[in-house]
Structure 1
Amino acid sequence: MTLSSLIAHTPPERDVRREPHYYPDHISEMLEYGLPLFESLLRYSNLDSITKLQLLDTFKAAIMLHDMGKLDEDNQTVFSGRSKGKLPVDHIDAGIAIANEMLNELLAWVIRGHHAPGLPSKSEERNFRRKIIQNTNAPRDRNYLLRGRRHHRDGESQSREYFEAHLKAIELTESRLSLYKQRQISSCGEYPNLKFELPEESITTRLLLSCLVEADHTSSANYHDNVEMKRFNLPPRRWQERLNRLNDYVSALDETPYAQKTVRNQIRHDFYSECKERALTNDSMYMCSAPVGLGKTTSVTAFLLRKAIQRDASRLFIIAPFTNIITQTVTTLKKAVLLDGEESEKIIAECHHKVEFSNKELRQYSTNWQAPIVVTTAVQFFETLASAQPTSLRKLNALVGAVIFIDESHACLPPRFLKIAWSWLKAFSNQWGCQIVFSSGSMVEYWNDSFFVGELKQKIPDILTGAIDSRVGEIEKNRVEFKRLEQAISRSDLVEKIIQSLDDSSTKLKQSVLIIVNTVQSAAYLAYYLAEKFNQKNATPVKERTVLHLSTGLAPINRDNILQEILRRQKDSEWDSQAWFLVATSCVEAGVDIDFAVGYRERCSISSFLQTAGRINRHGRRASGTLYDFSFIHDEEMLKHPSFDDSSIIFDELWEGLVNKNKSYTELTTTALRKEFSRSNESQAIAESIYQDEVKNNFQEVDKGFKVISANTATVVVENSVVEALEKGYLADWRLVQKHSVQLWFNKINKLELKQIRGCEQDGIYSWINDYEYDDFLGIYAGLINPRRIFKQLGGVI
């Protein structure tokens, strides 16, 4: 076998006659793509020049050595087709052996992390070294960190045979290492040889792995698709042109019929002007505590575009907690910053599970955060930062040098994850050239509170200046009046109160009522009984409904339709002179540009109440709006949400300050969250434990522990045609499942005895429609409320 015929990848099954992907070509392609990629990251970095050179050499060595075990003669025999089956020698260990010889800990970690299950945990690796010596005849003077077969140290048998198998793999590598080195150097040239410790800042390790995976997968994919290897280039950013376009867009808004010459609109105009004209400072982190209706999205975007111009930023990221905010933001961005002749999908990547793409290449482009403007969920953003998995980390390198807008920052993470997330954001800001703005109408300044972030506490400036803030404060005092129903109220009495509230309202302009409750079931029942008062049937067309209902009890396709109808009614429509009602859960309380005359919010938390207040008399077009706080007399229909016990108590404690408005909303929401967090010893313990795992480079523990959303749910399909297609095995588009399904907790699935769809047992997908009714008004509760009422009317006991 000649050195030039060493193989890295065999041809795809659809084209078996093609030449294999030769090892020297694969390494060369990765170097040609990967080195410019990593150099672009280093240009944004604030690390010292010596460290930058060491990181670049370590990265080059990782590219050259990550697959070195494939050079084993037994593996090449399989690659060349002279024998069949899996590769007999696990190719992961050879490169790590070389890294350990160099005493380059970072190199070893990145090579090991490039293969499943990803970046390992340092504590587990230290235990492994001790146990392999205890359980085998392994020499004590060797470095066994990361060595052996690919593994998941804490998820496998710890028997003597287990450790002997690892030792056997290590000894095989040692016996053949000189041949591997000879083949590596002769076919690909010398690799850098340097000592380097694992960085204290774990983000650096993740970034090296991210770049390695990006270069490797790009080379492999291009070979697989039989296309020429592309070179790395940052996307076309054109920040100055986008800022000019945004200025034109905002100026045009001022001339629309809806841009009434009110005090609030003048302040909105002045706030935007400040963001686009004020002198830029050297700070890299900011907050924006502007209340609702001040045009935060456009103003903060203008500020960050100026920062992007100043620093030649790599990308603009906009992070939001909910998909409906993301969709709304992307719609605005397409109008405001997209330039003539540009394809929106290539410029603005909308990253969440419901988005659709016109082709596979654009999906990959979006998924890997390659576009100049990326709009994604807080869950995807922060879980990527926490990840140890190579596939998830592939896109992380796109963050370096970016300007980042974290919208509705109060709702992005639970308190237990604030400290570790803040440490990541500080690292990207201080070391990797990022500029970050946190924005919320109910801001929580957790970064300036040692109770949340300990020794990482830091004060950051507000881009809302004192002059604008004082003017806003004056008009905010009168925009919404806060009231409360002192006694817990029954569902039937609340229905009567809701209808009566419009008669009591001081305005006749667009009479509408927003009611937000704490559980999906409560929303469905309340919508059902309220609709009964207006003789509204479930089959009433959406545009004719007096009562709208919006919650995750509806499938995404129906939620989108309802949201579009709500937005339609915000403009001139037949509903301007008719009363209408929206019953919803918290999915509409943050970031959505909707406006109601009167609001009701089931007692939950200070931040939720303030966010709901942002939907009441949002633009100040009425003399005043009213928002009521209330609590239910809970029963089997109007369920109590157990997660809000503490926050409701704290809400009561802070009510006077909320009503009297003698404290800023930022102070109130920060105080409330601190009180909530202090009540949970478990959350505090989790916060410190996961942060210490991060400090100790225990990557696997951080990956497993940092889950923003519990995975204890399953997909339940509510559309009969989709269920039939899945059962028959011919569903071509997985997005149809997403559009026509809901997520239910397993305890509810078991209680309702839902059945898995035939053929989907492995994926855990259930059918709703086989056993229960579903409609686009009540969603899954169409199958639960009506039979229950009929049963009661017939004298049954539930």
Structure 2
Amino acid sequence: MKDDRFYAHSANTAGAWHLLNAHLREVGRLARIHAGSAPWREEAGLAGEQHDLGKYGDRFQARLRGQDSGLDHWSIGAWSALRQHQAVAAALAIQGHHVGLQRGDRDSLLGLDPTKLISRHPQGLTLSDPELDRLCARARVDGLDFRTPPIMAVTTWDKAVAAMLDVRLLFSCLVDADFLDTEAHFDGTAASKRHRTPGPVLDPQAALGALDRYMREGIRSGTQAQPAVREAREALWNACTAAAEVAPGCLTLTAPTGSGKTLAMLKLALEHARRHGLKRIVLAVPFLTIIEQTACVYRDVFAGFPEHFVLEHHSLAGLGAETALGDAQPPQERERRLLAENWDAPIVITSNVQLLESLFSNRPSSCRKLHNLMESVILFDEAQSLPVHLAVPTLAALSHLSAAYGSSVVFAAATQPAFDSLHEAVRQHAASGWQPVEAVPDHAALFAILKRVAVTWPAPGETRSWDALAAEIQDTPQALVVVNLKRHALTLLDALDAVPNIEHLSTNLCPMHRRAVLKRVRCRLASTEPCRLISTQCVEAGVDLDFPRVFRAFAPLESIAQAAGRCNREGRLSEPGEVMVFDPEDPGDWRRRYPTHAYFQAAEVTRRILLEHGAIDINDPGAFRDYYRQLYDLTRPSSQNPAFDEAIKSLDFAEIARLYRLIDQDAIQVLVPWGERLADFEALRDSAETDGIDGAWMRSAQGLAVSIYRPRADHPAWSILIPAKLRRTGKAERQHEEWFILEDPWGKHYDETRGLILPQSERVLIG
């Protein structure tokens, strides 16, 4: 008997096929729910109902039976949304729900015309059916009624960053709805779908109760901080409580290092969510070391709350939940990964890379979570880490997210950038511009209270040799030294080779190794044992260490202030802690002294201010405003990225996604044999050799991986880097382009102090 029904997906494991009309209705319904109160809610629903319109084609139905291939089932639905409903955003979202968002200019949109796609398809595919009228007729017979929505997401591209964010948010609603309904079908039975359990819901009142209890019983009662530090922390706490009453919008939270900013931010976010009915809190952090530290604190605060009340989404998340390689994934870890796909959780801790690159992405998997940023509190810790060349479009997107979708964006920093001076440049891309409200209006008083260090600056032209610096460190029982380059850290380690209790921290060490170093350092500091830590900048932002003396190589002003934040952090010393800024004796151009040209420029602005004033008071927020204004005058952020600006003008979603990168992407991951986890390394290496690697292997390997710039083709490092093989899927064996395994049978290339040591490694180490 012939089956005249149309299907969206083939049979699940229980033998049930997925009816197309049911799929389109459900995706439309879910897309509307995801859109919430957005003015384009109905357009999101239309996108859901038409996204698989091409599956009504006979050829697609044959494909489900394994009788056809190479088909495009999405473009015809996009053409319907555009031609019949003038819904530009829906058309772009439908077009992109498999291949990613493309271009929004008129010529590209008109290229969706099936008569053009028949002769020249951009992906070399064939339309499942080019006759739109026939497909719509079949949909009507199948019970579907496509009504033109009253409000469109895109009426003008005049403010392109804002308008493109509107499209991405609608796209997010569509692709998440599509993923969820498809997942429910394939997880279902013959009788019904099996929908995943939704994540817990934010209860700000209960969360505030837990936070206040944690502060009362865990922090205030056990603190060893001096009265001035406790006074400043209490003042910040009260200021954040008061600031929560302001209307949703953009805020800055300026507070000195050691003032309790991490928990005060959470207090502000929860109070703000309670006051304004916001749905979730998303905390974005620039560095993995801070993410791990912050996540640990948040887990302690909400220890009694439902599983995944605090959801981590970053490269190291879930490492503690991994079982032995090859064992079944723990159910709670599988659930965490499912929730991380769309950030379906009350509190999300993620990285700047994950959040900001998603805001400018064109891929379905990356954009899927974006709709859950609407009506949320979005916290950025260490806001000064935002690259200057991406500042203007980033601020525009975040400003529009706040102004149009009821979210609050909070930039927290001890060295708050003067981004408000870019207001007019931001307004070119988003009408709301960038004029944040300061959450702690009297923050200058906090800096005065917490003046815990004295900074010694180098005289003009004064330099210091590594040997002289090593001799001074040797005479200092507890000292932190922060340098600008890994090469410099290794040079200093060589000069201190005979000195006991030397520790080293850089991204030459795999994450698990870095974690172990920090634990040892904290134990030694707490027990007043000798401890000298040589580190790159990775120790600066947010890492909770408290040294009596800090040496800092000359650097941008915010980096010097961040290093100073690791000195006398708790204010326990009877005298101010000592921060000595030095210029290394290393002749040559900026490349031998600084990691990037932008870093060099910022350091030179610091040097210019120092020459003008003789000294800089790092406890004066006004000094940082002056510094950032001079830096922006020199670097002109609005004109730093011409290729990116051209992609915005061209409304080219794919090119924007390619160009928006917070970190250098030409990198590889190297699995290393760190001694304390050697058995894990060997299991991962053997599994990669025997079975090949897949996503689960990569997640397990993250904690033992070091990221390096890809060496040039003739670099000797390739002699000890073994390409990992991809797990076979019936095709020819292929090697992964980004994952390698260190071949180090004699232990020469991964050192317990220095970490990864490659032959002639200077040009390939990151950071």
| Superposition TM-score, scaled by structure 1 size | 0.82
1:106 to 89, 101, 110: 89
In 1: Cα distance, 2:242 partner to 2:634 partner:
44
Compute the displacement of 1:276 (Å).
2.4
Compute the displacement of 1:746 (Å).
1.9
In 2: Cα distance, 1:67 partner to 1:517 partner:
55
Residues 590 and 25 of structure 1: CA distance in aligned 2, closer, same or farther (over 3 Å): same
> Structure 2: which amino acid aligns with 1:119?
L
2:154 to 195, 198, 217: 198
1:493 to 468, 475, 495: 468
In 1: Cα distance, 2:585 partner to 2:618 partner:
31
Q: In 2, are the aligned partners of 1:33 and 1:230 still within 8 Å (CA)?
A: no
1:383 to 357, 369, 377: 357
> Structure 2: which amino acid aligns with 1:98?
S
1:75 aligns with 2:60: yes
The answer for the alignment partner of 1:209 in structure 2 is 171
The answer for the alignment partner of 1:163 in structure 2 is 120
Compute the displacement of 1:742 (Å).
1.0
Q: Which runs of 5+ in 1 are unaligned?
A: 46-51, 130-142, 151-160, 503-510, 537-545, 786-798
> Structure 1: which amino acid aligns with 2:27?
M
In 2: Cα distance, 1:324 partner to 1:599 partner:
19
Residues 146 and 202 of structure 1: CA distance in aligned 2, closer, same or farther (over 3 Å): farther
The answer for the alignment partner of 1:777 in structure 2 is 753
The answer for the alignment partner of 1:441 in structure 2 is 414
The answer for the alignment partner of 2:678 in structure 1 is none
> Structure 2: which amino acid aligns with 1:646?
Q
In 1: Cα distance, 2:313 partner to 2:391 partner:
23
Which residues in structure 2 correspond to 1:583-602 (within 5 Å)?
583-602=534-553
1:523 to 489, 511, 514: 489
Residues 167 and 276 of structure 1: CA distance in aligned 2, closer, same or farther (over 3 Å): closer
In 2: Cα distance, 1:320 partner to 1:440 partner:
11
SS at match of 2:717: coil
> Structure 1: which amino acid aligns with 2:441?
T
In 2: Cα distance, 1:21 partner to 1:649 partner:
63
The answer for the alignment partner of 1:743 in structure 2 is 707
1:58 to 25, 43, 51: 43
Compute the displacement of 1:780 (Å).
1.5
The answer for the alignment partner of 2:26 in structure 1 is 29
Which residues in structure 2 correspond to 1:567-646 (within 5 Å)?
567-571=522-526, 573=527, 576=528, 578-622=529-573, 623-634=575-586, 639-641=592-594, 643=596, 644-646=599-601
In 1: Cα distance, 2:204 partner to 2:530 partner:
45
Q: In 2, are the aligned partners of 1:483 and 1:626 still within 8 Å (CA)?
A: no
Q: In 2, are the aligned partners of 1:93 and 1:173 still within 8 Å (CA)?
A: no
Residues 148 and 275 of structure 1: CA distance in aligned 2, closer, same or farther (over 3 Å): farther
2:188 to 226, 231, 234: 226
> Structure 2: which amino acid aligns with 1:376?
T
> Structure 2: which amino acid aligns with 1:121?
R
In 1: Cα distance, 2:741 partner to 2:126 partner:
47
In 1: Cα distance, 2:53 partner to 2:244 partner:
53
The answer for the alignment partner of 2:765 in structure 1 is none
1:290 aligns with 2:290: no
Residues 765 and 303 of structure 1: CA distance in aligned 2, closer, same or farther (over 3 Å): closer
Compute the displacement of 1:296 (Å).
0.9
User: Over residues 31-84 of structure 1, what are the superposed CA-to-partner deviations in whole Å (9 max), with x where a residue is unaligned?
Assistant: 34333222xx31xx5xxxxxx2xx2222222111111111111221232x3x62
The answer for the alignment partner of 1:7 in structure 2 is 7
In 2: Cα distance, 1:453 partner to 1:290 partner:
25
> Structure 2: which amino acid aligns with 1:144?
G
In 2: Cα distance, 1:191 partner to 1:620 partner:
66
Residues 234 and 627 of structure 1: CA distance in aligned 2, closer, same or farther (over 3 Å): same
The answer for the alignment partner of 2:624 in structure 1 is 669
> Structure 1: which amino acid aligns with 2:282?
F
SS at match of 1:211: helix
Instruction: Provide the alpha-carbon RMSD of the alignment.
Output: 3.1
Moved more, 687-696 or 294-303: 687-696
Q: In 2, are the aligned partners of 1:482 and 1:659 still within 8 Å (CA)?
A: no
Compute the displacement of 1:400 (Å).
0.6
Moved more, 282-291 or 590-599: 282-291
User: Over residues 517-556 of structure 1, what are the superposed CA-to-partner deviations in whole Å (9 max), with x where a residue is unaligned?
Assistant: 11122212322431x232x4xxxxxxxxx11101011111
Moved more, 726-735 or 643-652: 726-735
1:710 aligns with 2:664: yes
In 1: Cα distance, 2:409 partner to 2:622 partner:
21
Residues 90 and 149 of structure 1: CA distance in aligned 2, closer, same or farther (over 3 Å): farther
> Could you say which structure has the larger radius of gyration?
1
Residues 4 and 341 of structure 1: CA distance in aligned 2, closer, same or farther (over 3 Å): farther
> Number of residue pairs matched?
707
Q: In 2, are the aligned partners of 1:287 and 1:460 still within 8 Å (CA)?
A: yes
User: Over residues 252-295 of structure 1, what are the superposed CA-to-partner deviations in whole Å (9 max), with x where a residue is unaligned?
Assistant: 24553433451221221232133225672235221111111111
> Structure 2: which amino acid aligns with 1:224?
F
Higher helix proportion (structure 1 or 2) = 1
| Superposition TM-score, scaled by structure 2 size | 0.85
In 1: Cα distance, 2:357 partner to 2:456 partner:
37
Q: Which runs of 5+ in 2 are unaligned?
A: 158-162, 322-331, 674-680, 727-734, 762-767
In 2: Cα distance, 1:167 partner to 1:516 partner:
53
The answer for the alignment partner of 1:788 in structure 2 is none
1:420 to 393, 401, 422: 393
Q: In 2, are the aligned partners of 1:253 and 1:259 still within 8 Å (CA)?
A: no
The answer for the alignment partner of 2:639 in structure 1 is 685
Structure 1 consecutive aligned stretches of length 4 or more whose deviation exceeds 6 Å: 1-4, 164-168, 231-234, 782-785
The answer for the alignment partner of 2:729 in structure 1 is none
SS at match of 1:593: coil
Q: In 2, are the aligned partners of 1:384 and 1:396 still within 8 Å (CA)?
A: yes
User: Over residues 214-252 of structure 1, what are the superposed CA-to-partner deviations in whole Å (9 max), with x where a residue is unaligned?
Assistant: 111111111112263539967421101111221121122
Q: In 2, are the aligned partners of 1:523 and 1:584 still within 8 Å (CA)?
A: yes
> Structure 2: which amino acid aligns with 1:745?
Y
SS at match of 1:5: coil
In 2: Cα distance, 1:662 partner to 1:521 partner:
30
The answer for the alignment partner of 1:362 in structure 2 is 336
SS at match of 2:59: helix
In 2: Cα distance, 1:448 partner to 1:8 partner:
52
> Structure 1: which amino acid aligns with 2:97?
H
SS at match of 2:41: helix
In 2: Cα distance, 1:528 partner to 1:759 partner:
37
